[in-house]
């Protein structure tokens, strides 16, 4: 069911010529590293008391966002959840306004009104992270309806966790999208945790069974192997563009950090935590790419570039001013009629 990427093609005896597959692997690795480096920067900023409010990091889950987004184009829409930094950056959102938003600055994507849980960038088709578990599903289903009516083959993607499966909205939206053949891809990041409780104690069924019940195409992948996520997403997306229909992609993944930054995670066992490094999506991708001949230098170079990129973005965002006090109510309505 899962397509493995083909190996590099050697075109020239004297020089290793990397094919399209290698370029894609590199681009995906860079995208994952950009997310990782950004979230590590956020982790540090939070620890230093520079980020107000709550921050939920997706470290360990980067391969899902990047694998899926690598199959998307600008006009496709995505929406996300409280753990949405990766989904946002993978859709092509720029770093500086992203950091500025999470730092609560006027130059932020949402002018400091949303913060970490509400980052949105409509210019990139990113309809918003969301603070309400499961709320992205109907919004994305509606976006898929709009895209289907527009008839250009664009699709809508919603990322949600296994914790959201207990929400009634999930069932309503799978039903409606199947009934109406809407081009919505439901991407479940199954990290085994519903906030602070194991999902095994929350759900009496599985997403696979739900998909089956509603007759919706379903694929399960190792969500920490970006090549696997991308290959499967590619197959699903290609089908959805040709003939609008929903699809469900369940990605087994790992939440490395707590539910939120500051969560002591007393509820996790040592053995689970010790198992996480072996499942690291960046290490897994690197190992795969090294087997295919990508040299260590390349990884060092890209790490250096991204560190500079992230540091610069954070530094600029930190100098940005907070929102203007007098503008508090300015954006509550788009139009105020004749009042």
Partner 1 sequence: MAEKHFIRAINEALADAMSADERVIILGEDIAAAGGSFKATRGLLDRFGDKRVFDTPISEATIAGVAVGAALTGFKPVVEIMFMDFVTLTMDMMVNQAAKAHAMFGAQRSVPMVLRTPHGGGLSAGPQHSQCLEAWFAHTPGLKVVCPSNPIDAYGLLRAAIDDPDPVIFVENKALYAKRVEMPEEWPQIEIGRARVARRGKDVTVVAYGAAVDWAEKAAEELARDGVGVEIVDLRSLQPWDETSVMESLSRTHRLVIAHEAVEAFGVGAEIAARMADVGFDELDGPIIRVGAPFSPPPFAPSLEAVFRRDANDIVAAVRRTLR
Binding site for partner 1 (CB under 8 A): 77, 79, 108-114, 118, 120-123, 127-128, 130-132, 135, 137-147, 149-150, 156, 168-169, 172-173, 175-176, 179-180, 329-339
CB 76 within 8 A of CB 154: yes
CB 171 within 8 A of CB 228: no
Residue 150: CB minimum distance to partner 1, A = 8
Query: Between residues 69 and 79, which has the closer beta carbon with respect to partner 1?
Result: 79
Query: Between residues 1 and 334, which has the closer beta carbon with respect to partner 1?
Result: 334
Where does residue 80 rank: exposed (0-12), middle (13-18), buried (19+ CB within 10 A)? buried
CB 120 within 8 A of CB 110: yes
Query: Between residues 66 and 139, which has the closer beta carbon with respect to partner 1?
Result: 139
Residue 196: CB minimum distance to partner 1, A = 22
Query: Between residues 185 and 252, which has the closer beta carbon with respect to partner 1?
Result: 185
- 8-state DSSP, 2: P
Q: Which helix (H) or strand (E) holds 85?
A: helix 85-90
Query: Between residues 179 and 278, which has the closer beta carbon with respect to partner 1?
Result: 179
Query: What is the Cα 9 distance to its own chain's centre?
Result: 30
Query: Between residues 31 and 103, which has the closer beta carbon with respect to partner 1?
Result: 103
CA distance 37 to 31: 10
Q: Which helix (H) or strand (E) holds 283?
A: helix 281-291
**Cβ-Cβ contacts under 8 Å for 283 (sequence gap 6 or more):** 277
Query: Between residues 165 and 289, which has the closer beta carbon with respect to partner 1?
Result: 165
Residue 146: CB minimum distance to partner 1, A = 4
Residue 173: CB minimum distance to partner 1, A = 6
CA distance 267 to 292: 39
Residue 33: CB minimum distance to partner 1, A = 27
Residue 134: CB minimum distance to partner 1, A = 9
Whole-number Cα distances in Å, 327 to 113, 118, 285, 319: 11, 19, 46, 20
| Residue ranges with strand state E in 181-327 | 184-190, 193-194, 197-198, 217-222, 247-252
Residue 143: CB minimum distance to partner 1, A = 4
Number of Cβ atoms within 10 Å of the Cβ of 72: 22
């Amino acid at each position: 069911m899962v397509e493995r990427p083909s190996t590099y093609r050697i075109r020239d005896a004297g020089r290793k010529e990397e094919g399209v597959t290698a370029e894609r692997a590199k681009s995906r690795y860079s995208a994952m590293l950009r997310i990782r480096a950004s979230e590590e920067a956020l982790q540090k900023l939070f620890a230093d008391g520079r980020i107000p409010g709550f921050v939920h990091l997706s470290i360990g889950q980067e391969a899902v966002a990047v694998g899926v987004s690598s199959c998307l184009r600008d006009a496709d829409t995505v929406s996300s959840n409280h753990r949405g930094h990766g989904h946002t950056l993978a859709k092509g959102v720029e770093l500086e306004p992203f950091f500025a938003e999470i730092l609560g600055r006027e130059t932020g994507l949402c002018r400091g009104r949303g913060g970490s849980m509400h980052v949105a960038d409509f210019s990139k088709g990113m309809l918003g992270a969301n603070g309400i578990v499961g709320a992205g599903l109907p919004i994305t289903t509606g976006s898929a309806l709009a895209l289907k009516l527009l008839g250009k083959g664009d699709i809508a993607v919603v990322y949600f966790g296994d914790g959201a499966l207990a929400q009634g909205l999930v069932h309503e939206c799978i039903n409606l999208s199947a009934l109406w053949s809407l081009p919505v891809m439901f991407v479940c990041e199954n990290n085994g945790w519903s906030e602070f409780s194991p999902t095994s104690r929350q759900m009496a069924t599985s997403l696979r069974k739900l998909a089956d019940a509603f007759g919706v195409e379903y694929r399960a992948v190792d969500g920490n192997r970006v090549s696997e996520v991308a290959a499967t997403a590619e197959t699903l997306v290609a089908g959805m563009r040709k003939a609008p229909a929903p699809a469900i992609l369940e990605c087994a993944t790992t939440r490395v950090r707590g539910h939120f930054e500051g969560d002591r995670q007393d509820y996790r066992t040592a053995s689970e935590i010790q198992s996480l490094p072996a499942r690291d999506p960046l290490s897994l991708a690197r190992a795969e790419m090294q087997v295919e001949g990508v040299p260590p230098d390349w990884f060092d170079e890209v790490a250096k570039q991204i560190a500079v990129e992230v540091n610069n973005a954070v530094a600029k965002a930190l100098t940005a001013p907070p929102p203007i006090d007098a503008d508090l109510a300015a954006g509550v309505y788009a139009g105020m009629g004749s009042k």
